[in-house]
Amino acid sequence: MGRRMRDDWAGQSQTVLDQPAPDAIREQLNSLLASPFFSHSKRFPHFLRFVVEHTLAGDADNIKERTLGIEIFGRDAAYDTASDPIVRVTAAEIRKRVAQYYQDPLHRDELRISLPPGSYVPRFQDPCESPEAVVPDPALVTEEPAAAEAPHEARPGRRSWLLMAVCGVVGALLSAGGILLWQQSHRATLSPFWQPVFSSDGPVLICLADQLGYSGITLRNAAEPTQLVVLNDHLTAVIIDDLSAIVKVAGIFQRNGKPYVLKGEGATNLADLRAGPSVIIGAFDNAWALRLTNPLRYHFGNDEGMRHLWIVDSTHPGQSPQWIVDRSVQMATNDYRDYAIVARFTDPTTGNLAVVLAGIGRGGTEVAGEFLTNAGDLAQLQKMAHNAGDKKNMEVVLSTHIIDGDPGSPKVEAAYFW
C-alpha cells in the first residue's frame, strides 16, 4: 500500500493512503467470512462478498438497496423497499458482526473491511489509517443507524456467540474490580427499567423454559475419544436462543451486584414467585410466561393445532391478530417476521415484580433479551414511559425479521403503560 500527497480545500497538504490491493482485500474477506461471526450463516457471507466484489470491479455506483434485494434475495424488480426491509436488516447485522470481529485483539491489526452506516458500499482501510483501531464493544455503544435500522447488539454465529457470552459472565465473576468500574459508568443507563428489580430484597428468580429434549446421551471414551457410547437418559434441554437472553440478563445482574437464581419452568412453583421478583424467559414453552401475561392487554394465543401462534390485543377482541407467526412458513423458509412481548409489572397473584421476555418463536425471545439489555433500546423505552406519565407497569410488543434463523433489529410495534 503506498502513500501520496494531495491538497485539501484549504490548501494544506494531507497524507492519503491508496486503497489496499484487491488480492489483499479478498484474502481479508475470506478470513472474515471464515470466522464464527459469518460461518454459520448463508446470506450474510453472500451479501458481503457480493458488495465487496462489485466494489473491486468498479461497480460501486450500482450497489443500491433495490439492486441488492433483487440480486441477493431474489425479490421482484418492482418490490416495495419501504415495506420489505430485508436489505437494510441484513446490512445492519453485517455491520455489527464485522465490528465484533475486529474487536478481538487478534484481528485489530488486520486490513479493515467495513460497511459504513447509510451505505452498502464497503470501505477498505489499512489499520493504521483509522484512529478507531480498537472497536468499542457494540453492546455498550449505540451506532448511528441507517434509514429504518434500529441499533442493536452484535450477534455472531449462534453457538460461538453463546460460548463467548458465557465466558464473559464467568469473567465478570472473577473480575470484581472491572465490574465496579463498569457498574459506575453504566448503572445510570440501565437502571430506569431495571432499578426496581435491583432495589428489591433478596435474589431475583430467573425462570427459564426447559424441554425434555433427549432420551439418550452420546459420550466419548476417554481412552479413545473417537469411540462413541450412547446411554439412555432423560435430559432437560435449554433452548439455545433462550440461553442468549438468559446470559444477557444474568450479566446485568452480575455487573450490578444483584444476586439471582436460575430455575427451570418445570421446577418453579407459585411459592418461588411469591418469594421475590422474577424474570420469566420464553413464551409457549414456559407456562409461567403464559399465565402471568394472560391478564395483560397483550398476551399470547394460538389455534388448536398450534399451526398459527400470535399475540392478542385484548382491547380489540373481535379483530384478527396482526402479530402472527405461521408455523408452516417458519419451518419451510426460516425467513419470516417474529414477535415478542417484554413487560415489567407487579403481578396481583404473587404481589411481586415480574419481568417477562417472551417471543412467539425462538428468535423473538432472543430479541426480547437484547431489547431489555441494550442501552439504546432501554433509552427508547424510558422515553416512551416518560411520555406516558412514568407509570410503574409497562408492556411492549416487539417484532423482528428472521433471516436464515438469525433475528435482526427489534422494532417496537405497540406499547401500553399503566
Q: pLDDT tens for residues 196-231?
A: 999 998 899 999 887 655 455 566 677 777 777 766
In whole angstroms, what separates CA 406 from the centre of its chain? 9
Question: pLDDT digit string (tens) for 233-259?
Answer: 555 555 555 778 888 899 889 888 899
Does 82 score more than 90 pLDDT? no
Q: What is the DSSP string of 221-274?
A: -SS-TT-EEEEEEEEEE--HHHHHHHHHHHHHHHHTT--EEEEEGGG--HHHHH
pLDDT at position 121:
95
Mean local confidence (pLDDT), 126-143: 44
Task: Identify the weakest region by mean pLDDT among 32-46, 153-167, 212-226.
Answer: 153-167
Grid cell at residue 365: 425471545
**141 vs 403, more confident:** 403
Q: For the chain, what percent of residues have pLDDT higher than 70?
A: 75
Using a pLDDT cut of 90, give the percent of the chain over it.
Answer: 45
pLDDT value for 105: 85
pLDDT score, position 239? 56
Q: How confident is the model at residue 18 (pLDDT cuts 50, 70, 90)?
A: low
Give the pLDDT band (50/70/90) at residue 136.
very low
Residue 176, pLDDT above cutoff 50 = no
pLDDT digit string, tens, across residues 371-416: 999 888 999 999 999 999 999 999 999 999 988 778 888 999 999 9
How far, in whole angstroms, is CA 95 from its chain's centroid? 13
Q: Report the C-alpha gap between 90 and 51 in whole angstroms.
A: 12
Phi, psi of 18 (to 5 degrees): -65, 160
Mean pLDDT over 361-367 rounds to 89
Q: What is the pLDDT of residue 12?
A: 40
Least confident interval from 9-13, 57-61, 193-197, 373-377: 9-13
- Listed in sequence order, the residues at least 6 apart from 78 whose beta carbon sits closer than 8 Å to its beta carbon are none
**pLDDT at position 146, please?**
36
Residue 118 pLDDT more than 50? Answer: yes
pLDDT of residue 283: 92
Residue with cell 490491493: 21
Rounded-to-10 torsion of CA 161, 164, 168, 173 = 120
Q: Residue 283: name the closest of 273, 294, 274 by CA.
A: 294
Report pLDDT for 218. Answer: 63
Question: Grid coordinates standing for 88?
Answer: 437494510
The predicted structure's pLDDT at residue 133: 37
Q: State residue 98's pLDDT score.
A: 92
CA 207 to CA 238: how far, in whole Å?
11
